[in-house]
Amino acid sequence: MVLVDDKPKPEAPPLRLSKFHAPEIVFGPHSIAEAAHAAVRLGARRPFVVTDPGLMAAGWPAELLTDLRAAGLAPQVWTDVTPNPKDHEIEAAHVRYLEQGCDVVLGIGGGSVIDAAKGVALLAANGGRILDYEGIDRITHPIPPLIMMPSTSGTGADVSQFCIVTDTERHSKITIMGRALVPDVSVIDPRLLVTMPDWLNAATGLDALTHGIEAFVSLAHGPLTDPHALQAISLVKRHLVRTMERPADTAARSSMAVAALEAGLAFTNAILGATHAMSHQVGGMLDLPHGVVNGVLLPHVIRFNGAALPERFVPIAEAMGVHVPGAPALEDVELVAEAVRTLGDEVGVPRNLGALGVRIEDIPRLAELTLGDACLTTNPRPTSVGDVEALFRAAL
């Protein structure tokens, strides 16, 4: 006798239209040379190389410049980029780009360098001031080709459609977002990660973790982004501390490079949430490392969002190795928040915003600016200015 289960089955939620933006990706040790080949393919003659003094001292741009010259190109170098790139720095670099008659733009460095390089390319084709492009899809003309080489393991800027710039007049960060900002080529050479200082390794690693978690719960998440987000979360949890303890561990460094890549692919397509919207304002006001601020804020935002959709945090708990089978989903929310905070402790990130210089009187302005950040539009829980103020107070 065949038993037939005639109970009605719950209908699967309808699939949403999904788009997935990604550059050409070259991954592996000694892959910097591929950037020169890509520049030639993209029509470069006088490529504009954006980097910073720290990378110059580490020697990686010199290797790139050798390869570019060997390919018959005449590269021009710009190094006047500081952490949390400033509006006037990008505009000065754009002037140099025009003066030197440059074409393809290459960025070799961390997220600040890569964002600055994107800003130069944006202005090269569209003109005006960089702050004119705050928001989503404000770029109207095609920009020069972009080739990016990340030297940190976390920002995901080398594959993303974001450009984050500090507005030095308002002391805040703006978010520029658009398909045009996705680089043409991302060249990921894990060797570049070994010259990061410990604080930067910790900050960018926590940034990758935040990207993974916020992308997974984002309103814009989907089947094309979820696997990347969960893989990034798992890799950061398993390998970040090891890279702090054993900086020369090439396997751990390569795993963190993959984590940063996976997280970048997830968040550039699923976007982010309240943690990033809030972090941008703190970083813009105090010129702080973005990933460090994320590490402080993330547990609080997890609890806030998890109260509304706890089931979404169960796969995250599984990826982090803290899931308790059979436990209520709300328990997983708390376990994820605690695991994030524990990881922050292990890599030396402060436990509160007060330790970073934020004052109680700063909170109303920070909350007001947060409401205007594009990243807040995909936060999974509706968020008022009062909610943001409460989150800032909890993190203080």
Helices and strands (H and E) in the chain: how many:
14, 9
pLDDT of residue 1: 42
CATH of domain 196-395: 1.20.1090.10
* Structure-block tokens of residue 333: 């929310």
Largest Cα separation within the chain, whole Å, is 84
Confidence of residue 10 (pLDDT cuts 50, 70, 90): very low
- Tens of pLDDT, residue by residue over 149-206, are 999 999 999 999 999 999 999 999 999 999 999 999 999 999 999 999 999 999 999 9
Fold match, 24-193 / 196-395 = no
Distance of CA 306 to the CA centre of its chain: 22
289: three-class secondary structure by DSSP: coil
Whole-model pTM: value is 0.93
User: Where does the pLDDT of residue 15 fall: very low under 50, low under 70, confident under 90, or very high at 90 and above?
Assistant: low
CATH class of 24-193: alpha beta
pLDDT, tens digit, for every residue of 359-396?
999 999 999 999 999 999 999 999 999 999 999 999 99
The pLDDT of residue 5 is 45
> What ranges do the domains of the chain cover?
24-193, 196-395
List, as one string, the DSSP characters of 193-249.
Answer: GGGS-HHHHHHHHHHHHHHHHHHHHSTT--TTTHHHHHHHHHHHHHHHHHHHH-TT-
Residues β-bridged to residue 186: 25, 148
